[in-house]
Structures are given as C-alpha cells and as structure tokens.
Amino acid sequence: MKSILSYGAGVNSTAIIALALLKEIPMPDYIIFSDTGAEWPHTYKYLNYIESKGIKIIYLVGGTKYMNLLEFCQMRNLIPSRMNRWCSDHWKIRPIEYLIRVIREEIGECKHYLGFDAGESHRAENKLSRSRNHDFPLIEFGLNRQGCKNIIRKAGLGIPHKSGCFICPYQNKAQWIKLKKEQPELWKIAVNLEKEQIKTNPLFTYRGGMTIDKFVADLDKQEELPFDFALDQKCECFFD
C-alpha cells in the first residue's frame, strides 16, 4: 500500500523519515510540505538538506494561488489569529488534505503518516475518532520527543530546529527574541504587520494586547549573559 507523510520539517515528522532510512518502515511514497511562504529560514535550509539526501519532497502553496500567507497578511494589514488559526487551516491543513484526496482518487486507499509522538497519544485518538485513515509510526515505536531526536541521530541526520512561521502568534518569548537577534529583517516585518493590525484593533496583537516589542523589552537586560543560558535552553546538536 502506498503511503503519504505530512512533513513539517520539524523533529517529529523528520523522525518518520529517519525510521524509513533505518528500514523500520517503508519510505513514504509522497512526502508533502505545505509552504506558507513565512517559514523560519532554518526550515527552508533543512528542507534543502533533506532533499540533498535524495529524499523527494512535494511542495504545496495553500490559501490563494496568487499570494502566500505573508503577502496575504501584508495586503490585508493583519496578523495570524490565536483564536481560530485560519492561517494553519488555509495554508497547511487544507492544501495537504486536498492533495491526499487527489492521490487517493488516483491510486486508491493509502496510509497517511502523521508525526504525533508517544507523548501525544490523545491527539492521535482525536484524529482517529474523525477518520481511521491515519497512521502514527512514532506512537507505534514508542518514541517520545527525545526518542525522536535519538532516532534522527541514529539515521545520520542533523536535528532540525522547531519549524513554524516567523509570524506565528503561538511563538514563545525565546522564539521572538531569537527572531529579533538573528533575523532582524524578518523581525521588522513582524513588527510592522502588528502595527498595521493595531490601527484597526488596538487589542489584537501577537500576544493578546501586548506588542512583541514590549514582550521582549527586557532583552537588553540579558545581554551580559550567554544567549542560550539567558533563555534557559539546554544545549542541542541542532542542524546548521
């Protein structure tokens, strides 16, 4: 039976590719990445890295065929919402679900791999309650988050940084600070989007009433400390 992997270029979905490289499961026939056009640079870099290993990725563009998520937000003077997550729905979920329907119409039933790890069994149960056409290899192999990293290393791959959009309202303080320090041009884009949104609704910000400028205002107080230490992050052998 053919198989499809919804690939996010993060730790969990990369662990599924690692399992395939280690011959624990068949390599998915279709590895699908839905590109918002607003991914962190390290995500695009990791996608290129994975493809350099001979792994073919199918790229989708969701939302509207005329513009990506960032262009859409700039045109509408808005930021993604924490409330209804329309960005994920239109630029991630729907494009992948549409392509899966097309594939199944052409070749018949196939497995759909999702990267929920052993610590997310409740999410898998919710998925299965709506559809039985999902497979969760990480749960089947008992791999939690650390187990996923271990299997990626075992397969000889670098560990990806957390994937996601650089304008995602669910980013924590460490991620916003990282954006400001390491990607100043993208930080300016995020700040400008928020400023335009505030003109319409002063309370509608990335952080629910607090601007990201204010959210990271104590950044200068941490300058005398090593960056990772100041953010209380453990050292990882991440892909660079």
Residues 59, 20, single domain; the answer is yes
Count of domains observed in the chain:
2
For residue 179 the two structure tokens come to 């954006």
Residues 14, 74, single domain; the answer is yes
* CATH number of the domain to which 143 belongs: 3.40.50.620
Q: What is the pLDDT of residues 99-156, one digit of tens each?
A: 999 999 999 988 899 999 998 877 766 655 455 578 899 999 999 999 999 999 999 9
CA distances from 94 to 36, 110, 126 (A): 12, 18, 18
Which pLDDT score is estimated for 233?
36
Residue where a domain terminates, one of 123, 154, 185: 154
213-232: buried (b, 16+ CB within 10 Å) or exposed (e) per residue? bebbeeeeeeeeeeeeeeee
Residues 134, 185, single domain; the answer is no
N-term to C-term CA, the chain: 35
The rounded radius of gyration (Å) of the Cα atoms in the chain is: 19
Residues 42, 143, single domain; the answer is yes
Rounded to 5°, angle at Cα 5 from 46 and 165: 45
Residues 142, 179, single domain; the answer is no
Residues 126, 200, single domain; the answer is no
Residues 20, 132, single domain; the answer is yes
Per-residue pLDDT of the chain in tens (240 residues, 90 and over written 9) = 899 999 999 999 999 999 999 999 999 999 999 999 999 999 999 999 999 999 999 999 876 667 899 999 999 999 998 888 899 999 998 999 999 999 999 999 888 999 999 988 777 666 554 555 788 999 999 999 999 999 999 999 999 999 999 999 999 999 999 999 999 999 999 999 999 999 988 889 998 889 999 999 876 554 443 433 333 333 344 454
Residues 136, 195, single domain; the answer is no
Residues 26, 143, single domain; the answer is yes
Residue 168 domain-assigned (yes or no) = no
Residue 162 domain-assigned (yes or no) = no
For residue 119 the two structure tokens come to 């610590």
For residue 39 the two structure tokens come to 């991914």
Domain that holds residue 18: 3-154
Residues 75, 181, single domain; the answer is no
How many Cβ atoms sit within 10 Å of the Cβ of residue 193? 22
Residues 74, 104, single domain; the answer is yes
Burial class (CB in 10 A: 0-12, 13-18, 19+), 94: middle
Backbone phi, then psi, for 140, in 5-degree steps?
-60, -35
Residues 11, 127, single domain; the answer is yes
